[in-house]
Amino acid sequence: MGKRNDAVHRPCLLAETLSYLALRDGGDYADLTVGHGSMASALLQACSPSGRLLAVDLDPIAVEAARERLASFGDRCQVVHGSYEELAELAGQAGFRGIDAIVIDAGGVSAEQLRDPARGLSFAVPAPLSMQLDPSRPGPSAADLVNTLSPAELAQLFRTAGESPRAARSIASAIASAREQAPITETTQLARLVERAVGAAGARRGHVHPATRAFLGLRLAVTQELPALERGIRQALECLRPGGRLVVLSYHGLEHRLVRQLARDLEHGCICPPGLPVCGCGRQPKVRRLLTKPLSPSAREVAYNPSARSARLHCVVRTSAPM
């Protein structure tokens, strides 16, 4: 996997993100999914001339590309390799003792990562069935899961990603039969298996490829991006100063639901039964939602940037209550 700093990336809901983050000169900020640095560059310009940015990414190739792209900002920007689940440690090491606003551009994987054959995230071209964003971290690849999980476990992965129970069972059964003959090791090999398994029903899904949900289910299992996103949001809130803002951009139904439910839960205060004369739980709201309904991109933005179609923007303000 070589350096890919020539990729063109258009951040989704960029103007809205900058507005809700309320950036100012001299503030300390964090982009926890920096990618190739398109969003980070806009953040640094918005908090110039002296605002600082901590830029984090799990993908070592993205970190290298972001460092090159953001080098002109000098010591105002520190790009570090790591997970947003480790933000408190990473921020401390970088000299950030508190952060005024944070953005997490979730989406699991970027368009650049999807287009990179070596990652095995897409069925568009033959590639090793990997799906690991950072191979240095422990954990199974997609090929490991496909070749070792039971049919019932595979079917559950596919159902989690939105596949119907019947199709999920058919795909899992086809995989189990095929791997008895030879291991399943390539993306297109798996995609063909899925197409045959779902048959005509899969062909009627319009513009969505029959293997889309199966690949999403495997990716979620390999990257563990949903539990990681929840832990990352909690870490971000721990690192925010009171009054600081967190913007999360989500891209599919499972992400939308997770972010909404977590924000609602953290906004709740006392959970004691209504009949108690005084609060006994001591629970205080950790956040205040600035948006009760996530923002969607405008029709104009979608026309300019079709990948923004599924994007949703969530924003909360940190209270002074301890996490």
Output the pTM of the full model.
0.87
List the structure tokens of 230: 């929840």
Domains and CATH numbers, the chain: 14-111+225-318 (3.40.50.150), 134-223 (1.10.150.170)
What pLDDT sits at residue 117?
A: 66
The bridge status of strand 287-289 relative to strand 312-318 is antiparallel
3-state SS, residue 140:
coil
Spatial CB neighbours of 232, under 8 Å, sequence gap ≥ 6: 32, 83, 84, 85, 87, 104
Q: Which pLDDT belongs to residue 6?
A: 38
Q: Specify whether the backbone of 23 is left (phi greater than 0), alpha (psi in -120 to 50) or beta.
A: beta
For residue 102, the cross-strand partners are 30, 246
Structure tokens at 123: 């069925």
What's the pLDDT at 281?
83
225-239 vs 212-223: helix crossing angle, rounded to 10: 50
Q: Which of 183, 150, 186 is nearest to 168 (CA)?
A: 150
- The Cβ-side half-sphere exposure at 32, using a 13 Å CA radius, reads 32
| Tens-binned pLDDT, residue by residue, of the chain (323 aa) | 333 333 456 799 999 999 999 999 999 999 999 988 999 999 999 999 999 999 999 888 889 999 999 999 999 999 999 999 999 999 999 999 999 999 999 975 666 676 676 676 788 788 899 888 777 777 899 999 999 999 999 999 999 998 999 999 999 999 999 999 999 999 999 999 999 998 755 554 556 788 889 999 999 999 898 999 999 999 999 999 999 999 999 998 999 999 999 999 999 988 888 878 788 788 899 999 999 999 999 999 999 988 899 999 999 999 999 88
Q: How far apart are CA 302 and CA 297, in angstroms?
A: 7
Buried b or exposed e, range 69-90, using 16+ CB within 10 angstroms: bbeebeeebbbbbbbbbbbeeb
